[in-house]
Chain A
Amino acid sequence: METPVNKPKQLRIALRNCGMLDPENIAESIVRDAYQALGKVLKEYSPQECINILKQSGLRGRGGAGFPTGLKWEIASKSKSDQKYVVCNADEGDPGAFMDRSILEGDPHSVLEAMAICGYCIGADKGLIYIRAEYPLAIKRLKIAISQAMEWGLLGKNILGSGFNFEIKLCYGAGAFVCGEETALIHSMEGKRGEPTNKPPFPATSGFMKKPTNVNNVETFANIAPIILKGPEWFSSIGTKNSKGTKVFALAGKINHVGLIEVPMGTSLREIIYEIGGGIKENKKFKAVQTGGPSGGCLTEKHLDTPIDYENLIAAGSMMGSGGMIVMDENDCMVSVAKFYLDFIVGESCGKCTPCRVGNKRLYEILERITQGKGVMKDLDKLKNLSYIIKDTALCGLGQTSPNPVFSTLENFYDEYYEHVVEKKCRAGHCKNLFHYVINEELCVGCAACKRCCPVHAITGEKRKPHYIDSNICIRCNECIEKCSFDAISIQLEPKILV
């Protein structure tokens, strides 16, 4: 490629201070320019001028939907009310995601400062951080950061002599995925059940305690101060046409360099996996990447060179989501991947509306049947039709996007579904009912070592005669293969011909 090899692919804006300073000592943040942007905004800009800077920068929400941040602040600022709120969404419920946790643990002041800037812009003097109780270290560091900022006069009354007051409190979530959805999050903060409600009204007009509320994601906030200090033109020079800046991803799964990365929008999957991620584990073959968590979809080999941004991910049948990126190799079964996410959704559905509560359960059952080798061709149509119904009729984003893993695996890996259903075969060797342990009669000496170790007595045979495994009893524990000294036992992917 054109880029010289030593040019780093990563650019850290949101993560600029993570790993660079002691998050429990505000002086170290001050050295790295914390609260300079807040000071500048309070001194030099009117709220609208600051909002205009954000609008020009092109920053969009990093929590999922990608709504333009400047516009969101403008709507909240124009809502008339005696009291408004700034909320930071730190619920981070996607399995495999830890971007927001890392920012809060590594650089809490970047978020506090941005919330205060937001408060000034929309006319709010109270901020709330909704954080899951499973993040004890992030909570501890946030508490320390808030009290140090209060002590130093960077939060609280009359900040930096400007007359502007702003205080921040923490609210704890119980870790339900749906509570990351902003209306559910607000209900949960009000002490009600964490169930979503229809929008409109949007939180910007009627949110926490029915007051105008601006909700942003942790990473969105972490981008604010650099935009103020370095200018909107700098920020909008990074990224693609409609997606500016960078995105943080949590790289996980079958990749050598599991970790937290931040790349300019428009970076390709190939660069992420092979240059930053160090390639697939054990040099196996790349199969897919799941982005957008349970609401997203998978990208495959044909997407390896697609520049990653909001629009391209949607076009590829996935979404940005909050930034979980799970890499899969040839040993991952895509039907099982869809089943995994549906299982997650079934557990997380709040149950308020039928399409999501019942529909997803049905989707899960069909997928379960297919992975057990009991699927029929009709099931594939059923999967698709039911997915459309759920997508079109569910009440909130959780339900509306829950069939995405099904759509995307059906679209990209139809032949794997077909094999499971028609040939009763799982090419990845993952679905336990679709592969078998068999003993090669020629090699077996009848030593009975396997028979003795089998926990479910699936193996029969007389001494010194070839042994036999009953696949209906076998639980695929792999013990016998390891015990046999004659390499007589092997795994067969082909369906067993029943006699």
Chain B
Amino acid sequence: MTHIKSLEQLTSKRDELKSNLSRLDDPNNSEKKVQIKVAMATCGIASGARTTMDFLTAELSKRNIPSVVTQTGCMGYCYAEPTIEVKLPGKEAVIFGYVDTKRADEIIEKYIKTGELTEGVIPRNYDTID
């Protein structure tokens, strides 16, 4: 169990977690993985995000693609639920909207396997703080 006792410990824990993440994202590292986030707030779940997430988790492992699929909160694109974010190692994250299982399948076969964009890309329309 992690129990953090000072700001220094918190910061070094953060940095350790960060470097784990950057290994996943490094295209030259053997631990590299495709990172997928599924928007699973109330609005997303109501539009079927859970089915999309289960599909992605099952299919990516079946198709032997090293990946992590996690849930996340609302991305703000309620009109295009379910939405997912796909981050290929070393690449900018891409957001896809209206991802039912059919589109999820397309995203795996096309974008994830070949890097070629499929339909349903939503341009990121905001700045955030670093």
Contact = CB atoms under 8 A, between A and B. Distances in A.
Contacts of A190: none
A361 interface: no
B126 A257 contact: no
The residue in A13, A17, A260 that gathers the most chain B C-beta atoms within 10 A of its C-beta is A260
Contact of A259 (B9, B17, B77, B127): B77
A31 interface: yes
A39 interface: yes
A138 B6 CA distance: 29
B63 interface: no
| Dominant SS among interface residues on chain B | mixed
A342 B42 CA distance: 28
B28 interface: no
Contact of B78 (A18, A40, A259): A259
A18 B18 contact: no
Contacts of B74: 18-19, 102, 105-106, 260
Interface string B1-36: 111111101110110011001000000000000000
B43 interface: yes
Contacts of A15: 76
Interface residues of B, number: 39
A49 interface: no
A177 to B, nearest CB: 19
Given A19-B74, A31-B17, A161-B6, A259 B79 contact: yes
Contact of B18 (A9, A31, A138, A154): A31
20 contacts: A10-B126, A11-B127, A11-B129, A15-B76, A18-B74, A19-B73, A19-B85, A30-B13, A31-B14, A102-B41, A102-B43, A106-B41, A138-B42, A151-B2, A151-B3, A160-B10, A230-B129, A258-B79, A260-B74, A262-B76
Q: Which 9 A-B pairs have the closest CB atoms?
A: A106-B73, A10-B126, A19-B75, A39-B7, A259-B78, A260-B76, A102-B74, A18-B73, A12-B128
Interface of A: 8-13, 15-25, 27-28, 30-31, 33, 35-36, 39-40, 42-43, 98, 101-103, 105-107, 135, 137-138, 151-154, 160-161, 226, 230, 256-262, 276
A160 B9 CA distance: 9
Contact of A21 (B13, B72, B77): B72
Given A36-B10, A160-B5, A12 B45 contact: no
A361 B32 CA distance: 64
B114 interface: no
Nearest to A33: B14
B25 to A, nearest CB: 12
Given A21-B72, A31-B14, 5 more contacts: A12-B127, A30-B10, A30-B13, A153-B3, A261-B76
Contact of B127 (A8, A30, A33): A8
A40 B10 CA distance: 11
B88 interface: no
Contacts of A152: 2-4
A19 B37 contact: yes
Contacts of B78: 258-260
Given A12-B128, A257-B77, A151 B1 contact: yes
The residue in B21, B79, B126 that gathers the most chain A C-beta atoms within 10 A of its C-beta is B126
